[in-house]
Structures are given as structure tokens and as C-alpha cells.
Structure 1
Amino acid sequence: DTARQMADYVLREAPRFADGILQHTVNSEKHVFPEQAWVDTMMMAGLFLLRIGKLVGSEEYFEDGLRQYHGHEEFLQDMETNLYYHGWDHVAKNNLSGIFWGRGNGWAALTMAKALPLIDVTHPSYMIIDGSLRDLLSALVRLQHPSGLWHTVLTDPDSYLEVSGSAGIASGLLSRGSLYHKSVQKALSAITDAVAPDGRVERVSAGTAVMRDARGYKDVPYKRIQGWGQGLALTFLADVVRSKSRAFQ
């Protein structure tokens, strides 16, 4: 019942712009981002709507989830690099600071990989999302640091290496089977090394708004435990376990 209430709020009350794209909204009157799309929404709303739509048999929820994927691809995926920008400002008609944020691309890769099994291959959306994911992963694999991680600003080698975004990216790569095996193995080693003996996932950046410039992203701290770091690492590690189980079936 709670999940349905949340889905109904997103479907009928959440602020939108353009062709029904969800405005990124923070639960605070002090932080309002009019007509802005942030890549985070692909995870926080898009995948949620697909999953609950599939679970309860609601085409309305499901199609709205697909709408979010298509809208965010349209506004955020750069056709030259195939990477996803962090944000889009529909009023100014630009990508704000124009940064390719590591965790944002992790959200995009992970959620598209998780969305595809929910969509019938004969649905037109399947190939749209599959093509976006294919091109994104082919770009991301080239940006992997020799350590196995990715930078918090993907195209800035002076920015720190960050674990949560790397886990999301690695899950996306793993969804392609053995195609990116070497890259996934490097990421697995680096991510497990970042898990402290008590289970804390380290080197995870704090909450990150669309910052004004690359310096802003570099200054986001990564000292404390973060829920999204735990969740993304667990998702990747669970995917690894599942992939190994399938290999021995």
C-alpha cells in the first residue's frame, strides 16, 4: 500500500516539465530546482515505476517509468561522448556545469541494466534503452582507472577515485555477460578492497548536487559512511554472486 501511494504521488502530483519529465525535487523548501532533470531520477523514480508497474500489473506506472528513461536520455546523454551529464536546466536549455559525474553515470548504467529484463523485447522502448546502455558502457570501459575504479568526474584524472559510482558502473558492465570480463574483475578487486572489516564501504562521496564546476565535485567529501555506497556495493556484489551461480547451473 505504501509503495502504491508513493507511485501515485510520483504519477499525479510530482512536479514535471517538457513532455512529462520529472523535475528533480528535494524534500526541502530551501532547495528547489525548477524544470531541472538530474540523472539520479532514473534510479529514484524511473526504475521504481517500472518495478511496481510490473509487480501490480499497472501499465500506467510502467509507461511513466519508460517516459523517464527516454526523457533523461534525451536531455542528459551526450551524443559525442555517450556519457550522461549530471543535470539539465530546461529553462536555460543547457546542462548546467556540463560535468560527467561518476555516480550519476553509475545510476544510469545500473538502472538501464536492471530495466531491460522488465521490458518485453518487442516493446519499442527496449531497443532505445538497450542502445543507450550499449553506447554508455563502451565509453565507460575506456575511462576505467588501472586500479579498477572510476573518477568522481569521469573525464578528469585529477579528481578522486570513487567507489559507489564504480559499483554502479561495474553492475552495468556485468549485465553484458562476458563482454567486459576483465574490466569487471578489476572493479571487483578494487571494490572489495574498499570494504572495511566491519562492512563499511569506504571512499564513497557524500550527497552531491549539480555543482558549479569540476572543483565543486572534487571537494565533495568521502570520509563518512553513505547509504548509497552500501547499497551500490551490495548490488554489484549480489550481481557477481548471481552471475557465478548461473555459470555453474
Structure 2
Amino acid sequence: MSRRAFGHTLGVLGLGLLLPALPAAAKRLPKKKDLLRTMTLANDYFMQKWPDTGKEIVTNKTRPSNIWTRAVYYEGLMALHGIDKQKRYYDYAVDWGEKHKWGLNRGIETRNADNQCCGQTYLALHAIDPKPERIHDIKASIDLMMQTEQADDWWWIDALQMAMPVFARLGVMYQDNRYFEKMYQLYDYAKTRHGGNGLFNAQDGLWWRDKDFVPPYKEPNGEDCYWSRGNGWVVAAMVRVLEIMPKDAPHRQEYEQMYLTMMKALPPLQRPDGFWNVSLHDPTHFGGKELTGTALFVYGMAWGINQGLLDAKQYQPIVTKAWQAMASEGVHKTGFLGYVQGTGKEPKDGQPVTYTSKPDFEDYGLGCFLLAGTELCKLNDNLDKAAAKS
């Protein structure tokens, strides 16, 4: 048995041994009101810190607030609004779109998925209150890409989450399979071509972050480098696309199979405390609690349970343990989120990651957290319905 196979087997056995020893409270999914209380605290902290939705973000340089980091936050906010329809959430998102005139960073000519991520929220807001200006620029940007044969744009795996749901939503809105086909062309190039043989390693069921991290790049322990949040972005991409696409949409089976493959790979890699490390196959390389990858994995697993794609008996204890860890160890009394790795592309970036460390951008971590929490609320609702029927 290879070291990797042995490590994975040990992880599975460890998971099985740990779960029965957990206190009963740690196995129980928190009540919906408790989930909402935690999410509301974290979200209120952010909304109070950023009352002006159009204010530029200043870190090492000044950036507009419709970049991908803020766009991911609004994905989470719209998910929260979906289960807790507070008008202030909707108004906050609309104000953000209006402050940017529903535009994209770098304009409609951009092919960069990060710049197109804001379109997810623009399209979601258009679905609530259809207004042409809300989707004009994002549709124009995607349509320009559709007019070319170029397919190598998504050379980093974060791009899948940033842009795939936009293509999927437009395909549904306009009942036009060309959006689905172009999305698949870009996805397949990332999966099978970038870096020589593609960014997905079928042997491990995980993705290298980008074309710079495929073999022979190795972690200090000799394993391939699989970045937690990067793989979290792919999980989120699959979830959001599957949630949007019709059952008979082209290539849906590929995305569902990719989702299930990743869901099989992740449980053995969970830390005993409930988090996942920033380096999925090398816990010694900047090992420690990390919230963003963990939140995205919880989001994906909870969604799969809700859709009947994952076995609740196996995955519910995993997501419960992870959420309890994030909520009890990551959320400050103020609502600030600890253990959020800053921007980057590998384990060493944004370090140190601690309870009190402040990432260069706070927004995307909260977005990931809200996506996870809202899906757990839906799981709670489904459990209540099942209990009522029994």
C-alpha cells in the first residue's frame, strides 16, 4: 500500500473512531435559529464595517469593490436572503450593483472569471426584480467570449466558481445551450489540458490549484500540492451549476460525477478538530485551522445531503463537526471571522492563519461561511419535515 493510500485509509479509520467518541451535542446539527444567529452576527459585523457598498478596497493597492472577493461575499448574502428575507440584505446588494452601475471590473471586454463573478449576484437580483440594466454588462461580457474559439481562460481553479454559474444561469434564462457548451469547453480545458495534462488528478479526486502546481511540484512531505480553498472553489462551482442547470442540460452528468468524486476524497482529510488544513495532503505544511476551505466543503456536503446525493449518516456528522468548529472557534463575539487565510494560491500564502489574524480581504471568507450556514439551515428544514412525517 502506498504512503498516500495508507494515509487515506488511516484518515477514514480515524474519522470512524473519532465520531462515536464525540459528545452528543457535537453530533447534533445546531437548530436553525442558532445557525441564523451566528450568521447574522458575522454578517452584521461586515455590513456595519462597510456601510458604503461602493467604497474602494485598499490593501497593497486600491481596487474597486466589485472584484471577486466582494462578489463572493454577495453570493453568500444572497443565499442568506434566500432563507431569511430581510429587506436590508436585498437593499444592500442592490445598492452595490447600482454603485457600480451593474458593471464589471475591467469592463465587458474582460475574459477574466474573477471580474465576471459579480454577475452571479446581478443575475440573482434580476431574477427577483427583472431590470435590463442589471444583466446587460454581464451578458455582454459572456457573449463576447461565446463568439471565440478560445478556451484556455480558466488556468486557475478558482475561476470555475467565479464564472461557471454565470454561464449556467444565462443558459437557463435564454434557453440557449450554447452557454452550456461554452462553459463545458472552458471547464474541460482546465480539467484536461492546462499544465500539460489538466489540473484535475483523477487518482486523488482533487485539483491542483493552477498550471504552476502540477507534478513535479511537491509539498515538503513529497505529496502533490492540493490547496484547500482552491478545491473548495471547485466544489462550490459544481454545486452552484448543478443547482441551476436543468436535469437534461448538456454535460450535467460530468459535473455531478466530478462533485461525487470530490465528496469521496474529502472526508478522510478532515482534521480531528473539524477543520481542514490549508494543504490537503500535507498537514505539516502550514497546518492548522482554516475557515474558507472548510466552509466551502461544508457547503458542498450539506447541499449533497439535501439533494439526496450523499448519505446523511456518513456526511451529516462531518458537516456538523465542521460547523461547530467554525462557529465556536472561528467567530469572534464581534462577528469577525478568525482562521481565514488571506488571498493567494497555496498553503504558504496569507500566513500566519490564526484566530486573531486579519486577512487582506475579509469579504470572501464571510461569503463562504454564509453559503455553508444557509445550506445547513435547509438541511435542518428537511430534517424537520422528515421528522414530522415519521
TM range (shorter): 0.7 to 0.9
- The answer to whether structure 1 residue 6 and structure 2 residue 6 are counterparts is no
Question: Secondary structure of the equivalent of 1:233?
Answer: helix
1:5 and 1:58, CA in 2 relative to 1: closer, same or farther beyond 3 A? farther
User: Any conservation in 2 of the 1:73–1:132 contact (CA below 8 Å)?
Assistant: no
User: Any conservation in 2 of the 1:143–1:154 contact (CA below 8 Å)?
Assistant: yes
Which amino acid is 1:40 matched to?
Answer: D
Which amino acid is 1:79 matched to?
Answer: A
The CA RMSD over aligned residues, in Å, is 2.7
1:12 and 1:127, CA in 2 relative to 1: closer, same or farther beyond 3 A? same
**Residue 168 of structure 1: aligned partner:** 296
Which amino acid is 2:136 matched to?
Answer: R
- The answer to whether structure 1 residue 189 and structure 2 residue 324 are counterparts is yes
- The answer to whether structure 1 residue 235 and structure 2 residue 371 are counterparts is yes
1:242, distance to aligned residue in structure 2 (A): 1.4
**Residue 184 of structure 2: aligned partner:** 66
Deviations 1:62-109 (A, max 9, x none): 4333333333333221011111110026xxx95684521000111111
Larger RCO (CA within 8 A; separation ≥ 6)? 2
Which amino acid is 1:3 matched to?
Answer: I
Distance 1:87 1:95 in 2: 11
Point out the structure with max Rg over C-alpha: 2
1:56, distance to aligned residue in structure 2 (A): 4.6
**Correspondence 1:11-160 to 2 at 5 A:** 11-12=143-144, 20-23=151-154, 37-74=155-192, 75-88=198-211, 94=214, 97=217, 99-158=225-284, 159-160=287-288
Which amino acid is 1:43 matched to?
Answer: Q
User: Any conservation in 1 of the 2:275–2:325 contact (CA below 8 Å)?
Assistant: yes
User: Any conservation in 2 of the 1:83–1:105 contact (CA below 8 Å)?
Assistant: yes
Deviations 1:114-147 (A, max 9, x none): 2112223333412111111111111111100011
Distance 1:96 1:121 in 2: 39
1:21 and 1:54, CA in 2 relative to 1: closer, same or farther beyond 3 A? farther
User: Any conservation in 1 of the 2:181–2:250 contact (CA below 8 Å)?
Assistant: no
- Structure 2 stretches lacking a partner, 5+ long: 1-132, 193-197, 218-223, 306-311, 386-390
- Structure 1 stretches lacking a partner, 5+ long: 24-36
1:170 and 1:66, CA in 2 relative to 1: closer, same or farther beyond 3 A? same
Question: Secondary structure of the equivalent of 1:22?
Answer: coil
1:151, distance to aligned residue in structure 2 (A): 0.5
1:61, distance to aligned residue in structure 2 (A): 3.2
- The answer to whether structure 1 residue 202 and structure 2 residue 338 are counterparts is yes
Alignment: residue pair count: 227
More helix, by proportion? 2
> TM-score with structure 2 length normalisation?
0.53
1:58, distance to aligned residue in structure 2 (A): 4.3
Distance 2:336 2:143 in 1: 35
